[in-house]
């Protein structure tokens, strides 16, 4: 089984290699300038996740949020004195792990000063977050450079958890991702947690009536009641709920089982059942019989997303610290 899975991954990754090459990204980018970069990143990841395994989901999410806005350029990491950067925008208010990224960057800088971009470090962190959660491993094409612009209102490009299928496909298409990438990458929700306010409209305010009976009819009733027992009202801004109850620290196909039973946490999860192609994909992988296939698909889609409009060559810079541009 493992060999067959590795073959699937190799074939699918070869299919996206040409695209990465056009963008000057390749897996041997630091082979001479910083050959130890992946070992340095992984050492920090192993240490962090052994202490806080729930950090894997947020770190994966951070890479997503970086790539959907201005491409994968590390702009989500930048601070702003007047709170107008991407990380200050509402969709990014719940991101976690910024301090950890700085710690990894410092370790990489110690090994290879002024060489590896924060954007590349985010891509490596995301891969290791998945792999260390028992998910697939893939070779990350590298060579991104860091941007110097981060604007809060540009986070409109991020797919909201309240999105329907049409909105989701439009936002994914904007970064050259298709319907297959949408359903595959949505399964990143198999690890991590979410705040109640990201989905509580499905429980109390689905049509704008703001009362306990104003529920999303597409949500499975028993699951809805379980969520209501955790999220007491629309005003709950602190409670965290597992996105994949029972295995939220393990990267697996249980996400598809939940979505197929109308137990996807977000409206965007449920939206996958409204399109024939994505519904068929969900139902196929809900069986749990095609884990290798899904792992290969996820690896390929992550590489494709990681190739979203990167800065390369002489573009951008290599930040010394991820939260500030160089001076």
- Annotated active-site positions, please? 65
Which pairs from 75-81 meet CB under 8 Å and 24+ separation? 75/147, 75/149, 75/150, 76/122, 76/150, 77/101, 77/118, 77/122, 77/322, 77/323, 78/148, 78/150, 78/322, 78/323, 78/324, 78/325, 79/323, 79/324, 80/150, 80/152
End-to-end CA distance of the chain: 51
Residue 156 labeled ligand binder: no
Angle at 177 between CA 157 and CA 99, to 5 degrees: 55
Given phi > 0 = left and psi -120 to 50 = alpha, else beta, which region is 56?
Answer: alpha
Residue 120 labeled ligand binder: no
Residue 190 labeled ligand binder: yes
Residue 57 to residues 31, 35, 38, 54, 105: CA-CA distances in angstroms?
A: 29, 27, 19, 6, 19
CA separation for the pair 110, 114 (Å, rounded): 9
Handedness of CA 237, 238, 242, 248 (dihedral sign): positive
Residue 147 to residues 12, 61, 74, 316, 320: CA-CA distances in angstroms?
A: 29, 19, 6, 5, 12
- How many angstroms from the chain centroid is the CA of residue 224? 25
Residue 97 labeled ligand binder: no
CA separation for the pair 273, 260 (Å, rounded): 7
Cα–Cα nearest to 296, from 57, 18, 13: 13
Residue 217 labeled ligand binder: no
Q: How many residues does the chain have?
A: 327
Residue 141 to residues 105, 116, 134, 312: CA-CA distances in angstroms?
A: 18, 13, 21, 12
Residue 141 labeled ligand binder: no
CA separation for the pair 11, 293 (Å, rounded): 11
Residue 159 labeled ligand binder: yes
Residue 66 labeled ligand binder: yes
Residue 252 labeled ligand binder: yes
Q: Binding site: what residues are annotated?
A: 66, 69, 71, 73, 75, 86, 159, 189-190, 244, 252
Q: Binding site for heme b: what residues are annotated?
A: 189
């Amino acid at each position: 089984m493992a060999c067959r899975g590795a073959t699937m991954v190799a074939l699918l990754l070869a299919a996206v290699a040409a695209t990465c090459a056009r963008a000057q990204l390749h897996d041997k980018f630091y082979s001479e300038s910083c050959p130890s970069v992946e070992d340095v990143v992984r050492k920090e990841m192993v240490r962090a996740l052994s202490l806080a395994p729930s950090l894997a989901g947020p770190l994966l999410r951070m890479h997503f949020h970086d790539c959907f806005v201005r491409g994968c350029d590390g702009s989500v990491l930048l601070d702003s004195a007047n709170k107008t950067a991407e990380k200050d925008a509402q969709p990014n208010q719940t991101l976690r792990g910024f301090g950890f990224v700085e710690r990894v960057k410092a370790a990489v800088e110690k090994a290879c000063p002024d060489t590896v971009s924060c954007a590349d470090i985010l891509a490596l962190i995301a891969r290791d977050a998945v792999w260390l959660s028992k998910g697939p491993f893939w070779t990350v094409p590298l060579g991104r450079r860091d941007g110097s612009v981060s604007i809060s209102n540009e986070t409109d490009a991020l797919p909201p958890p309240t999105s329907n299928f049409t909105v989701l496909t439009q936002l994914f298409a904007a970064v050259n991702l298709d319907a297959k990438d949408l359903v595959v990458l949505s399964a990143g929700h198999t690890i991590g947690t979410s705040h109640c306010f990201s989905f509580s409209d499905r429980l109390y305010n689905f049509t704008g009536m703001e009362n306990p009976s104003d529920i999303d009819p597409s949500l499975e009733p028993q699951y809805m009641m379980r969520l209501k027992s955790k999220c007491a009202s629309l005003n709950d801004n602190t409670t965290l709920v597992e996105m994949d109850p029972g295995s939220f620290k393990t990267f697996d196909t249980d996400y598809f089982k939940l979505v197929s039973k109308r137990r996807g946490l977000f409206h965007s999860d449920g939206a996958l059942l409204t399109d024939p192609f994505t519904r068929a994909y969900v139902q196929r992988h809900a069986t749990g019989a095609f884990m290798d296939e899904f792992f290969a698909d996820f690896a390929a889609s992550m590489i494709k997303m990681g190739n979203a409009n990167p800065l390369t060559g002489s573009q951008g810079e290599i930040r010394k610290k991820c939260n500030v541009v160089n001076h």
